[in-house]
């Protein structure tokens, strides 16, 4: 009989690429996987040995504690899984309950909250911060840690078990299945943006760059896929926003399976972040997705990003405050299609060689094997 695994989050969407399209399929090859996520449905993931568990969704932490966590207790405690893999720190208290009932716990750190609390617009009350610090340090003595960045090892160096770094690199089979290539390329310059849209992620700089680009190329499009984390009144105060707004399409958070085809024929993928919080220490996953799709990338000039982009000559690393340089890079890519295509090809080759999920998947399975043991031959 297969060991059972519970992947649990009260925050991540039911189509979260890392949990649903990478971790769950990888584990389902050897384990019975239960995936509990807000608004999850059976269609969120396909394949044998994976069961979706629907949780309610609330954006405010207090409401999740009051109304979502009891549902987790009701739906998930009866499973008695061998391993519980949690993806948000608010679940640490409940993880101790699972541990008391006999489960091994993996706590996955996807952001350095010690550096990032100042960026959060809500759910960052002093009481929540104090509780997080207390439970986080207590968990280090009992749980196994998965870190998505090597930089997080500086903070989590005193854990009972050595932390495992599993980067959120791109799944090439997934991208190749959904990126789309049948439709004709657009007749006007098109750019692709996937991820959180915020001022910390240089939306103001990008608007200023697009205003400049419009003076030379009055007809272009930018497809934005991701949640908007600023007030629209704030956007309308940006110089030139009304001028470029007709060229921008905002789709909100979108299943990656739906968003990827819009990248076909795009000039570049954009991933600019300002040096705040843990951004300079953390890869943006979109960087590798753009590379996998053969798009040149326009990203920030962090040393971590330069090692990838400039070493592989697959795009531009630019100050996230320099709108003129961003506009010049976008214009250069429009006017040099052959060189831009070569950049995209080099990015794809780099992902195939180094920055792909297949390499990280083996680390994940090795960790699980050390906890729950490998599946015996003949198990179905």
Determine the average pLDDT of the residues in 319-338: 97
The single-letter DSSP state of residue 117 is G
Q: Place 256 in a pLDDT band, splitting at 50, 70 and 90.
A: very high
Cβ burial of 48 (10 Å; 0-12, 13-18, 19+) is exposed
CB 317 within 8 A of CB 334: no
Look at the pTM and tell me if it is higher than 0.85.
Answer: yes
What pLDDT sits at residue 43? Answer: 73
For residue range 221-245, list pLDDT tens digits in order: 999 999 999 999 999 999 999 999 9
pLDDT at position 113 over 80: yes
- Helices and strands in the chain, H and E counts: 17, 13
Residues 6 or more apart from 43 whose CB is under 8 A from it?
A: none
For residue range 52-88, list pLDDT tens digits in order: 999 999 999 999 999 999 999 999 988 999 999 999 9
DSSP string, 308-346: HHHHHT-EEEE-TT-HHHHHHHHHHHHH-HHHHHHHHHH
Which residues in the chain are classed under CATH 3.40.50.2000? 4-169+356-372, 172-353
Cβ burial of 95 (10 Å; 0-12, 13-18, 19+) is buried
What pLDDT sits at residue 184? Answer: 62
pLDDT at position 378 over 60: no
Secondary element (H or E) of residue 37: strand 32-38
Distances (CA, A) of 143 to 6, 34, 98, 128: 15, 20, 11, 21
> What residues form DSSP beta bridges with 269?
192, 297
Question: CA-CA distance, 43 to 285, in Å (whole number)?
Answer: 24
pLDDT at position 379 over 80: no
- The second-level CATH assignment, the architecture, of 172-353 is 3-Layer(aba) Sandwich (3.40)
Q: What percent of the chain has pLDDT over 70?
A: 96
* Three-class secondary structure of residue 164 per DSSP: strand
Distances (CA, A) of 84 to 28, 89, 103, 198, 209: 14, 13, 6, 32, 45
Tokens representing residue 193 in the block: 């943006």
What pLDDT sits at residue 209? Answer: 98
Smallest Cα–Cα separation from 64: which of 143, 128, 146, 116?
A: 128
Determine the average pLDDT of the residues in 287-298: 97
What pLDDT sits at residue 183? Answer: 59
Secondary element (H or E) of residue 360: helix 357-372
Determine the average pLDDT of the residues in 328-350: 97
Cβ burial of 280 (10 Å; 0-12, 13-18, 19+) is middle
Q: Place 377 in a pLDDT band, splitting at 50, 70 and 90.
A: very low
Q: Which residue has the higher pLDDT, 114 or 197?
A: 197
Q: Place 214 in a pLDDT band, splitting at 50, 70 and 90.
A: very high
Given phi > 0 = left and psi -120 to 50 = alpha, else beta, which region is 105?
Answer: beta
Tokens representing residue 48 in the block: 């044998």
Question: CA-CA distance, 181 to 167, in Å (whole number)?
Answer: 28
> What residues form DSSP beta bridges with 37?
54
For the segment(s) 4-169+356-372, the CATH number from 3.40.50.2000, 3.40.50.1370, 2.40.40.20, 3.90.1150.10 is 3.40.50.2000
For residue range 42-54, list pLDDT tens digits in order: 777 766 789 999 9
pLDDT at position 215 over 50: yes
Query: What's the mean pLDDT when you consider all of the chain?
Result: 93
């Amino acid at each position: 009989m297969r060991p059972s695994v519970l992947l649990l989050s009260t925050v991540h969407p039911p189509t979260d690429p890392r949990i649903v399209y990478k971790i769950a399929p990888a584990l389902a090859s050897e384990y019975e996987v239960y995936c509990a996520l807000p608004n999850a449905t059976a269609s969120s993931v396909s394949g044998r040995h994976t069961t979706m568990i629907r949780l309610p969704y609330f954006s405010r932490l207090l409401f999740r504690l009051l109304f979502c966590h009891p549902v987790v207790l009701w739906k998930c405690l009866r499973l008695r899984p061998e391993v519980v893999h949690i993806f948000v720190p608010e679940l640490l208290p409940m993880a101790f309950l699972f541990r008391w009932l006999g489960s091994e716990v993996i706590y996955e750190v996807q952001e350095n909250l010690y550096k990032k609390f100042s960026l959060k617009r809500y759910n960052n009350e002093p009481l929540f911060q104090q509780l997080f610090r207390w439970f986080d340090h207590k968990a280090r003595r009992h749980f196994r840690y998965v870190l998505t960045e090597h930089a997080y090892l500086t903070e989590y160096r005193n854990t009972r078990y050595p932390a495992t770094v599993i980067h959120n690199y791109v799944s090439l089979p997934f991208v190749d299945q959904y990126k789309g290539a049948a439709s004709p390329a657009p007749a006007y310059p098109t750019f692709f943006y996937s991820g959180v849209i915020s001022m910390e992620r240089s939306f103001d700089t990008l608007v200023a760059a697009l205003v400049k680009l419009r003076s030379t190329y009055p007809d272009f499009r930018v497809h934005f896929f991701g949640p908007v984390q600023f007030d629209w009144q704030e956007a309308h105060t940006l110089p030139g926003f009304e001028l470029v707004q007709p060229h921008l399409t905002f789709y909100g958070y979108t299943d990656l399976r739906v968003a990827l085809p819009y990248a076909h024929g795009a000039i570049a993928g954009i991933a600019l972040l300002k040096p705040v919080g843990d951004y300079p220490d953390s890869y943006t996953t979109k960087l590798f997705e753009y590379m996998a799709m053969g798009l040149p990338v326009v990203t920030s000039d962090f040393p971590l990003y330069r090692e990838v982009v400039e070493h592989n000559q697959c795009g531009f690393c630019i100050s996230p405050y320099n709108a003129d340089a961003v506009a010049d890079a976008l214009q250069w890519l429009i006017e040099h299609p052959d060189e831009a295509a070569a950049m995209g090809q080099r990015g794809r080759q780099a992902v195939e060689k180094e920055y792909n999920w297949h390499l990280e998947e083996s680390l994940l399975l090795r960790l699980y094997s050390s906890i729950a043991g490998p599946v015996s031959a003949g198990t179905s």
